[in-house]
Structure 1
């Protein structure tokens, strides 16, 4: 158990930032949450300070205060500089949550980054997300030096994910019947559990980790991922047996209007190959060297189910009507054609990438 620290979480009311604040309170730290307060309430036991980074409101309430560790998840470059000016000099450690979307290429494993946007950019468009995070990283490094720890997560899953990317699968399995699965089974998928991530960041603040690492668990095949989700629900007493899966080729899914990743008419955590092959096989060694430890998927699923068990319903994803239509169309395809598509997809294999040295 670490000694009591003064912790500041910029955000602290939604998903990852809220989980960081909750875990910090549970560890006995004095936690301050600073946000607009428009997206939720801070966790019990945390001090709340109103902060609107777009206008600067609230910075005076924080200015001059010393924090042992600061955690920031900002995505707008213009929101970084004023907070650094107000807080960086009196911060013992600064943890900035970036993203693997800073990498320019998703189809291959590459370290090349997007060209950064301007440091004063206020562009919130999705297309600017990666380039904006690149310049946010630069601003934090330049100001904090070896007090800065920058992590680049991939897909973050767990309780509080409003997009139901992981949650689609346990809820769909619990409804029973034939389940549409995105072929091929060998497609890689990576994620990081939100609770594991919060603990990793708090531990890194304790040990003074610095540098830049991808924050992601080891890739697994999609078939193994779905098998483990089903097994976890059986162990948890939600299912009596694993679900019946029907694997459908990605070409057919796209033709039928099924969307990747998240959102309406999507299959959670599914992205096409080869477009995202590099995105789903990021190296895990540097984060492990910095202290990251991943939960078993079964534990992640059980925590997610427990958090949602009182009112289990899908907030996003493929509707049962749409799924039924796609399955019916798939079963109506000529058998030889369907098998040929799956055989073509199975030529894809998870690349074994060399893990770069940890720079923390």
Structure 2
């Protein structure tokens, strides 16, 4: 099952590091590698970040967070969207022959990669950069766990198959292949950020934007019950902050990245949507059995929502104790919703939509029929 991510114009609250950058970084040699490592608390050293992507959703949030830290940021992208001001841009297409030529020179302390397609793109990038980059953070997905993942599964759970040499396949296998590529090239210098559902400003998958636009229209809203059903997601800016903190601290290995159980519910999410969009929406909580009997598709027709069962355990009941111990903090759902609404309004309500993802949301006619209107 896919997860998604998005971006933030200047009107939104700036994101600062969750922990003060109170460490000195020293350059050390490891064969032909030159990289920085954390030492005792002291002066702050400006990090050099190479962001593979950096113009949309997750990549943009990471880039903007790095800029708030005063880091030197290079963005490698295809040139379809402008990167945030203050970055250096390199252009190339990772899927094309010779597409990495612009990365043929240069050294970086940290590389962050959000790639979700054929693992060969991660393989080629990591092999090219392993001698010239200190650490490699790959934004992976909790989709790499074999389905069904039991409730409370931690990072040692069973994984899907994958290969760094594979072409594009299914999303889960592609992400696992990307993980293996990062591990093969960088070993204990590779960080695997296994994000779950990603929400927040710049979302180009259409989940939270759909709910915001729907509640903004007002009137009776089909709300999938129960309202107290806990959900797990991560605000894209909390993902960005944790990834950069972890990379700077020299963390490695896999981490599940979603908010802890009890952080939010379907009720708190939709109540926040209704409140921030003007309060004209009337949430009509509907029994999940009735929705399923009517053929409503969880996750897509009613985004974020999954009824209790195997799929729910897989998506919304992950163990994040390792990430919490490593400094993960999650902002309130009301803040995520409000900032996403501010961003969405700045676009006139029309959120960007990734061409490789289907549009989310139930049709107005089908919703009205289910509500008996």
Q: TM-score range by the shorter chain?
A: 0.7 to 0.9
Aligned residue in 1 for 2:71: 29
SS at structure 2 position matched to 1:244: strand
* Aligned match for 2:166, one of 108, 121, 128: 121
**What TM-score do you get using the length of structure 2 for normalisation?**
0.78
Contact 1:105 1:278 in 2 (8 A): no
Aligned residue in 1 for 2:242: 200
Change (3 A) 1:156 1:231: closer
* Aligned match for 2:109, one of 65, 68, 91: 68
Contact 2:140 2:192 in 1 (8 A): yes
Deviation at 1:105, TM superposition (A): 1.9
Aligned residue in 2 for 1:112: 158
Take 2:136 and 2:321, find their aligned partners in 1: how far apart are those partners? 22
* Aligned match for 1:286, one of 308, 322, 330: 322
Take 2:218 and 2:319, find their aligned partners in 1: how far apart are those partners? 35
SS at structure 2 position matched to 1:79: helix
Contact 1:56 1:82 in 2 (8 A): no
Change (3 A) 1:221 1:293: closer
Q: Trace 1:153-164 onto structure 2 (pairs within 5 A).
A: 153-164=195-206
Q: Which runs of 5+ in 1 are unaligned?
A: 330-360
Deviation at 1:141, TM superposition (A): 1.5
Change (3 A) 1:60 1:313: closer
Greater relative contact order (Cα < 8 A, sep 6+):
2
Take 1:157 and 1:98, find their aligned partners in 2: how far apart are those partners? 15
Per-residue CA shift, 1:68-113, capped at 9, x if unaligned? 1100112321112221121111111210111010011236234111
Contact 1:37 1:50 in 2 (8 A): yes
Take 2:245 and 2:268, find their aligned partners in 1: how far apart are those partners? 31
Runs in 1 of length 4+ with deviation above 6 angstroms?
A: none
Contact 2:222 2:283 in 1 (8 A): yes
Structure number with higher helix proportion: 1
Aligned residue in 1 for 2:278: 239
Structure number with higher strand proportion: 2
Take 1:20 and 1:144, find their aligned partners in 2: how far apart are those partners? 21
Take 1:204 and 1:215, find their aligned partners in 2: how far apart are those partners? 12
Q: Is 1:260 paired with 2:286?
A: no
Take 1:115 and 1:85, find their aligned partners in 2: how far apart are those partners? 21
Q: Is 1:326 paired with 2:350?
A: no
Deviation at 1:319, TM superposition (A): 2.9
SS at structure 2 position matched to 1:167: helix
SS at structure 2 position matched to 1:217: coil
Take 2:333 and 2:268, find their aligned partners in 1: how far apart are those partners? 10
Aligned residue in 1 for 2:15: none
Change (3 A) 1:36 1:270: same
**What TM-score do you get using the length of structure 1 for normalisation?**
0.81
Take 1:255 and 1:41, find their aligned partners in 2: how far apart are those partners? 46
Number of aligned residues: 317
RMSD: 2.3
Q: Is 1:177 paired with 2:219?
A: yes
Take 1:119 and 1:227, find their aligned partners in 2: how far apart are those partners? 40
SS at structure 2 position matched to 1:278: helix
Query: Which is further off, 247-256 or 193-202?
Result: 247-256
Per-residue CA shift, 1:261-280, capped at 9, x if unaligned? 23xxx112012331313221
